[in-house]
Structure 1
């Protein structure tokens, strides 16, 4: 199953960047301000199903599958640590001719977006972090991600995939049949289990430790930043997000109620309004 935007008559395309055949979708007016959406670990661009069209009203929106994720390729021998994703993002932006887009990153995507913002401070305009990784190493959370993800790719069934997705939500009923179908097709593709093992490296304590961002690292982000965190997020309480926002100069904290790790999917109306308002501030 391939996701097609509800309102935009577009289909995903593939671009070859940084040695990775990368699945990408684009929506919105070509001359509008660009925004790039970054998904979480083990995920794919369908995480943004309810966001792309909402932002495409007045933005040129890009969403893509990370290396080793979704329908993008998973070359052996490349890095699946944070710097590997940052490099791929940098090359992708160059390929698309995007000089300073807004970045919206969810979980691993937020970790990548934050690391990119530190390394290339002039490479983005604004940053939205949605329950980003890279803040801490919680063994319980890391084990849940590894166990559920591995189970879903080693024996991909509707049940195993739904259980992986339900962990992300406050209300498991939020997991739609379309979302399950999209992920099930991805996890059944040849090599999916091997790709998942590579991308789960950040759930290894030693690997994660060397990729974590310290408070000093977060403080080096200069882009205007919004931190969004659900009050029923299985990866950590809202206090983690509030503390994180305090480390980033001038960052704003936006708590969301009644949602888990995927607020953009569980409460898209609230999420989209928050993000659009933030991205539209002081636009030059």
Structure 2
């Protein structure tokens, strides 16, 4: 794996690249408060065959803090990575990253082959939808703790204990559902994240409301829907809206699973298998698409 730095109009973005140079590229995008190493296990399963790219959005991980954290800014970060890849890529996005991947899938960009969306909060920017989810309470708690700990320069262990011991919408506590490596990754990401990314609790209006939810996807798309009873971002009936607007998109529901299937002990293997099946279902890139690029 090689760590690199990209430039998006003066904002330095951290990324990592792994796998054979001639492998078909996949760009992984994380969710709010996570960072690119959340994809370590998933990418590790694919790196022998695919060119695996992971990106830290602005204000996250090792990327620069930035003046603005609007949806368009995150989309531009991903577009910067796609330009660096330089050939058609599959985009895999979780949560916020899934929304960014979905917006890019609507544009008909030649550099976007397909998109795999993991529980995207696609409709939570619509009036009244955000309040139906678990996120207002969750974001309020996490952002307040983060602000206090960053101000106090709290050690990594403080963040780690919080994530491991906090109750989850799936029942039990964090360490019941997420392995030690994923807990450490999330703790490190919270310690480094710019707290302004939370938009003072107004992520629904500052970011998600800008999603053009009714626009059709212009490439193959598969959506993983977590269980609405376990803290999902794609709520009950959102899947029907997705299917209405995009009859050719596949929607797969994980009963009993919370918002982060790729990180969950009980679901990470299923997520990896479903992603591999989706990748295998795509037509191979043409010779012209495969030549040149990183």
Residue in 2 aligned with 1:6? none
Q: Which residue, 128, 135, 147 being the options, matches 2:140?
A: 147
Query: In 2, distance between residues paired with 1:82 and 1:170?
Result: 31
Gaps of at least 5 residues in structure 2 are 285-294
Q: Which residue of 1 aligns with 2:278?
A: 278
1:253 partnered with 2:244: no
The Cα shift of 1:170 comes to 6.2
Match of 1:159 in 2: 161
Aligned equivalents of 1:56 and 1:169: distance in 2? 31
How many pairs were matched up?
A: 264
Q: Relative contact order (C-alpha < 8 Å, sep 6+): which is higher?
A: 2
Structure 1 vs Structure 2 CA RMSD: 2.6
TM-score, length of structure 1 as denominator length: 0.82
Match of 1:226 among 213, 222, 226: 222
Counterparts of 2:40 and 2:230, CA distance in 1 = 20
The alpha-carbon distance between structure 1 residues 209 and 27, as it changes in their structure 2 partners (threshold 3 A), is: closer
Structure 2: how far apart are the matches of 1:120 and 1:144?
A: 36
Corresponding residue to 1:90 among 55, 68, 79: 79
Which of 46, 49, 58 is 1:58 aligned to?
49
Q: Distance in 1 between matches of 2:165 and 2:211?
A: 27
**In structure 1, how many angstroms separate the alpha carbons of the residues matched to 2:169 and 2:114?**
25
**Structure 1 Cα separation of the partners of residues 247 and 8 of structure 2:** 33
Question: Among residues 61, 66, 73, which one is paired with 2:64 in the alignment?
Answer: 73
> Compared with structure 1, are the counterparts of its residues 19 and 143 closer, same or farther at alpha carbon in structure 2 (3 Å cutoff)?
same
2:121, 2:234 within 8 Å by CA — same for their partners in 1? no
TM-score (norm 2): 0.79
